[in-house]
Chain A
Amino acid sequence: MSVREAALVLADGSVFEGEAIGAEPPAGVASGEVVFNTVLSGYQEVITDPSYAGQMITFTNPHIGNYGVNGTDFEARRPFCRGVVVRDLARRHSSWRAESDLDGLLRRFGIPGIGGVDTRRLTRRIRDHGALPGAFGTASEATLRAAAQQEPGTDGIDLVAQVTTAEPYVVERTRDAERDGARRIVAYDFGIKHTILRHLARAGTVEVVPASTPAADVLAREPDGVFLSNGPGDPAMVSYAVDAVRQLLGHVPVFGICLGHQLLGLALGADTVKLPFGHHGGNHPVQDLRSGRIEITSQNHNFVVDAATLPAGVQATHVNLNDGVCEGLHAPGLRAFGVQHHPEAGPGPHDSRYLFETFRRLIDEQDATR
């Protein structure tokens, strides 16, 4: 295997040496907003998570690709990230679950990568400066620097439009759902992860609709509950969705995760703010303020709902113990709630899975009072 020398250049001018992996980017240049993720396992899920649209993912865990990739750990039909930055890509994978290797997956979907990078130095840089635009590839350093500087990052771009489904589709409920009656859930796809769909399907039939679907169309489907999915980028860029959510509130139980949670917050009248470098990992402690219990959570977001701006009637239910930001909200009167973290995991701990149960109960309470 011959080494293709490559470099990564950030918009601030810092340069990292490495070698090209994955797909060959056009003209030897790939660019995007460089972020990091601190998970120790679950690279396939992270890479295929649509929330990373527009971004280049740096893995802080140095060994990536060890257990290969498989057909079930996809979080979307394809990866939407712009690139992958690792310290050490496995030459050989080993796992009974593996069907192929990570390098093959990257090539198949045209995702470029760079290996051999001092990812700790890179992470420290991003931590101190916030997510930075960058470019990597086999092109000259000057070319890469120029590309990094031209790269707009993710601000002011509607990334959701790039990842949402073009047409509605249905995910049949799973067998355990059948045992306790049928529910119909309409799920907004802002970049929905497969693991979320699997969880929702345990509660009922899931009708997945494009991000731009108007509220009226959703209500016409007579849902028992509406789900607002995770997704990439700035919630302010999806104002059409905020409008839709506002119209849905009060008519049907609503549950939002991550971007969906932010959209719910905006629809309720709260503000969102951008974090310096976001939360991207599988080890964030979140406290459920009602029970006091701590959940270790999977997180991937740059924006948060500003708890100080929550209107009357809306409670903050969860808080991130690391930095105190709002991780969950509940509008009891409107039967709506959301969490900033990822209760579905994929990858990550299962501590917050109870929230899907909460959603199911909310739906059933409504049915009982109807």
Chain B
Amino acid sequence: MPRRDDLESILIIGSGPIVIGQACEFDYSGTQACRVLRQEGYRVVLANSNPATIMTDPDFADRTYVEPLTPDVLAEIVSRERPDAVLPTLGGQTGLNLAMDLYRAGLVGRPGTPELIGANAEAIETAEDRERFKQAMVEIGLAVPPSGIAHSLEGALTVADEIGLPVIVRPAFILGGKGTGLAGTRDELRRIAAAGLAASPIGEILIERSIAGWKEFELEVMRDRADNCVVICSIENVDPMGVHTGDSITVAPAQTLTDVEYQQMRDAAFACIRRVGVETGGSNVQFAVDPRHGEQVIIEMNPRVSRSSALASKATGFPIAKIAAKLAVGYTLDEIPNDITRKTPASFEPTIDYVVTKVPRWAFEKLPGTSGVLGTQMQSVGEAMAIGRTFPESLQKALRSLETGRAGLNADPGEAVYALLNDDELLEAAARPTPERIFHVAEGLRRGIGIEDLCAASRIDAWFLDQIARIVEERAVLEAAVWRDLPRAAWRRAKQLGFSDAQLAHLWGASEDEVRATRLATGVRATFKTVDTCAAEFAAETPYHYSTYEDEDEVRAGGRPRAIILGSGPNRIGQGIEFDYCCVHASFALRAAGYETVMVNCNPETVSTDYDTSDRLYFEPLTHEDVLNVLDAERAASPTDDVQVIVTLGGQTPLKLASGLPVELIAGTPPASIDVAEDREKWNALCARLQIPQPPGGTATSLEQALEITRRVGFPVLVRPSYVLGGRAMQIVDDEGQLKEVMAGLYGLGLVGFGSLGREGGLSAERPVLVDRFLEDAVEVDVDAIRDRTGEVLIGGVMEHVEEAGVHSGDSACAIPPQTLQLWVVEVIQAYTRAIADALDVVGLLNVQYAVQGNQVYVIEANPRASRTVPFVAKATGVPLAKVASRVMVGATLAELRGEGLVPEVTGGQVAVDHVAVKEAVLPFSRFPEVDTTLGPEMRSTGEVMGIDSTFGLAFHKAETAAGTVLPDRGLAFLSLNDGDKPAGLVVATRLRELGLGVAATRGTAAYLARYGLDVDLVVDKLGDGDGPTAVDLIASGEVTFVVNTPQGSGPRSDGSSIRQAANVHRVSAVTTVEAALAAVHGMAERAAQPLRVRSLQEYHGG
């Protein structure tokens, strides 16, 4: 069945901001879909609020709406664009939920409205409504765990009585397991059921018999219009049932199923996709298998591409999203060629000759109060994938890919902490799923705890445990060896088990470089094999490689100058999709400019690890050793062609690797400049020379030194370790007592637990603590600029932050163009930026952060690399900064690029806009009810959204809406402000009144407002000190629809935390700064005065 010619334009719904459970995998899938549908000649309309995505680049769709993903906005887009079809299956749960909203509103999927392609409403409902899904499965004879539905706490208890405890509670229509939990007792059930009922948009939960401890599997299935079905990949979870697949270490292909069992599962998956009625595209089906008797049950199916399908695509080389998009427009699998073999059709099942391991990455250290225990609800923020010929090799590669300071599975300095645990404690630790469990298990094996005992404790399959034991046993052999005399066979065995040179160096007390040199002298070097979907059965030219230690290399270079782009590794808070965006742009731009582009990255969710983004992809950890291996392979493949390495686009990860690479290969800004910007002394000297004010401060490696600095600069101060990302462990300190605590925290307790830097390398003379005067009431400003080799500087964007300095730039909202700064102040900022760019000899991107106190401009920091805001600036201004920067880095001048049309003619070296774009951060608090939501200098947001409109108020309103903050037009607003914020609070309260909202306040705030003639509707007691309802009660009851709560001073911020937590749990919009409150009421007022308008980027930027 060929392409459908009855469709002309197709609306693709993106997944919005990066949140836990929905990350850049949907940028990957959406980008693929946009590309292929345009290639097929369709007019593509895209809606996505996330500016950091590749897909929202104006080049990828005919109309790109960076607008909030709400039913209203979508309805507006549909009525404006009148697409023939809506493709909802590539935008994650968000895409599906929105499609269902539109369907229910009668706007899509009904006669005379755009058709839902991929999956129709009936199918989505059958898969997503857990009860309907179970009935459907029972109907076709598939086993499911016994369960019942509840809409109330009583209902939940009744169901549990019927099926028996323990049970698992699962809300309907949620993503990433939000609100899911395991209950062993009735009390636990009460708590978890309440959370689940709140998490489900329809207030419905499923109570199900717990089968925690069973083996968990996933199949990635595709189906076409002619009902042909194939399995693309099987995935086995190392962590058993009870740990969300997104939080589990997973392995592809499945390792411990006999063919009989596997085929039974395959049959069930097909029966499932057929019964649910997913007409075309990819689905993910999850199974549990009882390890004792092999009983198989079906857990759930996602009728769309998912995180696992991104993983499966990268694991096999089969581009699921691309094919899904083609199937959605009518093709059948046999009509689509397999890109990789080119000779065979897509209607086959990939087979692989390697093992893929994915390990999640969490951010518990940034979320104090969290337990760090994994469960049925996903908590990880990113993942690394590694490919090896065997499981041990891929596991060790994946662990070092995580960049959590570990060099592999133990045998590194990080293992020291396990010495503190006795055998019983270790076994207990092995029974508790945490990010550390895999290391605990390895340590247990090292001590001789048996596989049976560890298996019983962890429920990790004995096969996996034995494979881990191979690593542990080899380590003992290596430790005992005289390493300088190690024969080739022993080196090879160690490397084949995935040991990194860093691990070996640790075991032998040698340096990594010595180890590498000695090893290479024996002839044991990394070889690169190819991912080809067919285990070498057919010749494939796929430029997709992974390293292993075998006999031959398969890398073929193309005979052009090469640009090797080092990616940004697993997503983490502080370093996410923005950097992948930059790397991908560099690849596209340099490819277009005649370079052969080579990508190195280990994040399976990203566009950068799509094998056709670059001329060649190395799916490799971003470590010193692994990058050197790639360089060696590239040079060997083509000794004569020029090689350049791009280290400034992937965030901190490649930047850290720069010093270990031959300096002459680094493109753009010289590594020495990077060092000047990072090294406090050199940086201070530079600022002094340019006479740019900095907050006064100094560096300390001891408490005494820190105290000495505060005596000089006064309190409050900002204390932070150097060389960290995203304001990690940064704190505002008000007095000496607090300073002592903070310093002790950074130093002593350094090794154990999450609140430490121990894993990140600890403190030392090379890594001192920075102590700076904290600038109070300062406006923070971010600038992104590009300087070329002739010294010309392009100011890409000046962003004024909404929240004051002290809230990490990554967590605060910001606007282009600046809204309150005096014009001359902006000019000063531009002048400083140029001067810094010159002084640092920047060739490429530069990001500078300033704090403006009064009219005094202080520079906070400069990063001669791509920043988090590059994609936002590009979307706000229409200038493709990352593309321009990458060209500049390899030698083009801005003048030349103006000639090509890549850079617009600008006056005064600054890009001007006649609209306002606001970026807002998206925070993960709804998943962590125990965490205080106050913002501070440590970044905690996982993603961002953009609102764009004609005025700041409207753009801010859109940004908030897109971020999930509902700015209400009725109900009661609740204010509780610290003294300094009260004047601004008065303005906020007055506006709220004007907008027709009620105003409630705590006693002090109410009294202040009354003094200015604003009598609040309700005075609310602080927790428990009266008989009236507390703020928490009002929030819980839904009366309060908006919370403005600014913490008391900068001291211990526990005050008000229960209010913020209540707002978080009950999903009432809350702002924690007056600046945000002012912006919000401003936006609410403007929004109330006029109808919602949407506009595409192409229209904004004249595309």
Contacts and interface: CB of A to CB of B under 8 A. Distances in A.
Contacts, number: 165
B524 to A, nearest CB: 13
Interface residues of B, number: 56
7 contacts: A40-B234, A61-B353, A96-B292, A285-B344, A294-B347, A322-B345, A347-B259
Considering residues B266, B293, B470, B535, which has the most beta carbons from chain A within 10 angstroms of its beta carbon? Answer: B535
Contacts of A97: 258, 260-261, 294
B664 interface: no
A246 interface: no
B284 to A, nearest CB: 18
B536 A348 contact: no
B508 interface: no
A345 B260 CA distance: 10
B258 A127 contact: no
B259 A293 contact: no
B348 A92 contact: no
A45 B259 contact: yes
Contacts of A66: 255-256, 463
A293 B538 contact: no
Q: Which 8 A-B pairs have the closest CB atoms?
A: A42-B259, A347-B259, A60-B535, A94-B463, A92-B466, A283-B349, A41-B259, A118-B551
A73 interface: yes
Contacts of A345: 259, 263
Given A40-B234, A41-B262, A95-B258, A62 B351 contact: no
B693 to A, nearest CB: 60
Contacts of B463: 66-67, 90, 92-94
Interface string A310-337: 0000000000011100000000000000
Nearest to B462: A94
Contacts of B134: none
A44 B355 CA distance: 20
Interface of B: 226-228, 230, 234, 253-263, 266-267, 291-294, 332-334, 343-345, 347-355, 389-391, 451, 461-463, 466, 470, 529, 534-539, 550-552
Given A96-B291, A293-B226, A322-B348, A62 B470 contact: no
Contacts of A91: 466, 470
A72 B353 CA distance: 26
B351 A73 contact: no
A284 interface: yes
Contact of B267 (A42, A121, A347, A350): A350
A63 interface: yes
A282 B230 CA distance: 12
Given A40-B352, A60-B536, A88-B390, 4 more contacts: A60-B535, A67-B463, A96-B294, A321-B344
A123 interface: yes
Contact of A321 (B347, B349, B536): B347
Contacts of A63: 255, 355, 390-391
A296 B349 contact: yes
B848 to A, nearest CB: 49
B451 A322 contact: no
B166 to A, nearest CB: 23
A76 to B, nearest CB: 16
A209 B1010 CA distance: 103
B351 A40 contact: yes
B473 to A, nearest CB: 10
B228 A294 contact: yes
Nearest to A91: B466
A283 B466 CA distance: 29
A287 B347 CA distance: 10
A287 B550 CA distance: 37
Contacts of A44: 258
Nearest to A42: B259
Nearest to B388: A62
A221 interface: no
Contacts of B536: 60, 120, 123-124, 127
Contact of B266 (A90, A323, A349): A349
A90 to B, nearest CB: 7
Nearest to B527: A118
A41 B352 CA distance: 11
Interface in A101-119: 118-119
B389 A16 contact: no
Contact of A41 (B257, B291, B292, B334): B257
A175 to B, nearest CB: 19
Given A92-B462, A97-B294, A123-B535, A283 B345 contact: no
Given A62-B354, A67-B258, A127-B537, A293 B344 contact: no
Contacts of B344: 285, 321-322
Interface string A33-69: 0001011111011000000000000001111001100
A342 interface: no
Contacts of A16: 551
A87 interface: yes
A322 B343 CA distance: 7
Considering residues A39, A283, A347, which has the most beta carbons from chain B within 10 angstroms of its beta carbon? Answer: A283
B259 A94 contact: no
Interface in A337-358: 345-350
A123 B334 CA distance: 26
B228 A62 contact: no
A72 B552 CA distance: 39
A292 B224 CA distance: 12
B336 to A, nearest CB: 11
A166 to B, nearest CB: 29
Contacts of A88: 389-390
A174 to B, nearest CB: 17
A247 interface: no
Nearest to A93: B463
Contacts of B334: 285, 287, 294, 321
B345 A321 contact: yes
A165 interface: no
Contact of A118 (B230, B345, B391, B550): B550
B216 to A, nearest CB: 15
A70 interface: yes
B348 A321 contact: yes
Interface string A105-147: 0000000000000111101100110000000000000000000
A294 B344 CA distance: 13
A167 B405 CA distance: 67
A281 interface: yes
Contact of A322 (B234, B462, B538): B538
Contacts of B262: 40-41
Considering residues A16, A39, A118, A119, which has the most beta carbons from chain B within 10 angstroms of its beta carbon? Answer: A118
A123 B352 CA distance: 12
A48 B260 CA distance: 15
Contacts of B389: 62, 87-88, 120
A67 B390 CA distance: 16
Given A322-B538, A350-B263, A38 B462 contact: no
Contacts of B267: 350
B394 to A, nearest CB: 10
B348 A120 contact: no
Contacts of A323: 343
B651 to A, nearest CB: 33
A292 B260 CA distance: 27
Contacts of B292: 96
A188 B137 CA distance: 41
A321 B291 CA distance: 37
Contacts of B529: 120
Contacts of A124: 536, 552
Contacts of B258: 41-42, 44, 67, 70, 73, 95, 97
B503 to A, nearest CB: 20
Contacts of B293: 96
Contacts of A346: 259
Given A41-B257, A285-B334, A293 B227 contact: yes
Contacts of A349: 263, 266, 349
